[in-house]
Structure 1
Amino acid sequence: MTLASAPPQELSFLESRILGVLIEKEKTTPDAYPLTLNSLSAGCNQKTAREPVIHASDSELQTTLEELRSRLLVLETYGASGRVLRYAQNFAKVYGVPAAGVALLAMLMLRGAQTVSELRANCERLYRFDDASSVEAYLEELTARSGGAMVIKLPKQPGSREHRWVHLLCGAPAPVQPGEGQATASNSTNAELAERVARLESEVLELRAAVQALAGEKPAPLADSEVIAAER
């Protein structure tokens, strides 16, 4: 399978987020597509299934939409009602990418770096891949475009069993410093552990007070460490 050779146009981050949302919503909410500015804003700024989470204003979105429209990546329409301006994406035609490739790129634009397994699961509503090997085959295709690679496989992170992939539509990704991913995961784990310990300590104190109340006992004075845990 040979892809079209149209050279990729480098996008800004917000341009890629807008295109990713339009591609996603065309498949997942066809009745509401093309999208109004309000719907597009909600899709760009939503707190789930987005990495990173952003807070783009309507004015930022409108400026970016105008730039995308000038490059034919976004089309304007008033739809059947003829009253509200709506926006549709033209990504596949401009870049010459098949449906499977469009789905993969959309998920990478919306969710950042992902493994083959993650991409297959996240693309389920946009395009159904038979297995992980078919996902990898399309990713390899996107790296071998005559007009330039659109994705790249990242080096394995420490402790990771799979490589992650990122898109190149906004240029080359910033290099990850050795141990950076591991440190982030470690910090997150430590914070979660501290929260669980604090919650358990609080529950133990509540249970002790309940048992003493049932037994008609006067609650024993709390130790300093227990006072601190209760105040959490």
Structure 2
Amino acid sequence: MDADPVEIRALGCLIEKQRTTPDQYPLSLNALRLACNQATNRDPVVEYDESTIRDALTRMSDRGWVRLASGPGSRAVKFRHLLDEALRVSPSELAVLAVLMLRGPQTPGELKQRSERLYPFSALDDVERTLGQLIERKLVARLPRQAGQKELRYQQLLGDAAEAAQTAAPEPAVTDDLASRVAQLEERVTRLEAEVRGSSQPL
């Protein structure tokens, strides 16, 4: 799938607001803009205008991910997501996808903590099981562990492929050069120690 960053952000916001503020859902274009641009629970923080978001909604409508909707007595045009229907994902899978869309690559522990308002995972094993199901359907990928990272991270595959590839790229290969330098230093130390022992022999 090749959804762009604006689509991914808007879709994640629609899922989030459906769960966290159901009385305000579906969302108007302005409400969706505010959700996309909010500074909390977002990575990266963006500043999209309504025109940019409207274009993204049109593209997602063509994908079958979003449709127009209006709340009772509402005059404003509103939007709701159809991702659970389009991809046939469960509530737990939808929650994980939403957090990955809004915050980028995450560890299972981060997903459990940050999805609390979207879905009540009872244990870390439940998160990992959900990730496994999404991986089988090629909706999520496990990223290679990078230097200094203790836990594996996971990335959604609905879009941002370039970002995912960049995130998964290995650290620059400096190991061989470093090992060579260490070996040279060890050899030099050994030679100096031998010279010192030789010079300390009695005449």
TM-score normalised over the length of structure 1: 0.69
Report the alpha carbon displacement of residue 161 of structure 1 after superposing the two structures with TM.
1.5
Distance 2:109 2:140 in 1: 16
Residue aligning to 2:14: 22
The DSSP-based 3-state class of the residue aligned with 2:166 is: coil
The alignment-based identity, stated in percent, is 39
SS of equivalent to 1:128: coil
Partner SS for 1:152: strand
Corresponding residue of 1:114: 106
Q: C-alpha distance in 1, partners of 2:171/2:62?
A: 42
Q: How does 1:43-58 map to 2 (within 5 A)?
A: 43-58=35-50
Distance 1:175 1:61 in 2: 25
2:92 paired with 1:100: yes
- Counterpart in 2 of 1:127? 119
Aligned to 2:151: 162
Deviations along 1:34-90, whole A, 9 cap, x unmatched?
Answer: 011111001001111111111111111111111212222111122211411111110
Is residue 2:46 matched to residue 1:59?
no
Alignment size in residue pairs:
169
Aligned to 1:211: none
1:74 maps to a residue whose letter is V
**1:114-137 deviation per Cα after TM superposition (whole angstroms, max 9, x unaligned):** 100000000000001111111011
Q: Unaligned stretches of 5+ in structure 1? A: 1-8, 181-232
Unpaired segments ≥5 residues, structure 2: 173-203
Find the aligned partners of 1:79 and 1:38 in 2 and give their Cα distance: 15
Q: Is the 8 A contact 2:5 2:160 kept in 1?
A: no
129-138 or 101-110: which moved more? 129-138
For residue 88 of structure 1, give the secondary structure of its aligned residue in structure 2: strand
Provide the residue aligned with 2:166 in structure 1: 175
Aligned to 1:230: none
> 2:10 is matched by which residue type in structure 1?
I
**Aligned ranges 1:4-19 → 2 under 5 Å:** 9-19=1-11
Normalising by structure 2, we get a TM-score of 0.79
Code of the residue aligned with 1:44 in structure 2: it is C
Q: Secondary structure at the match of 1:175?
A: helix
> Is residue 2:28 matched to residue 1:39?
no
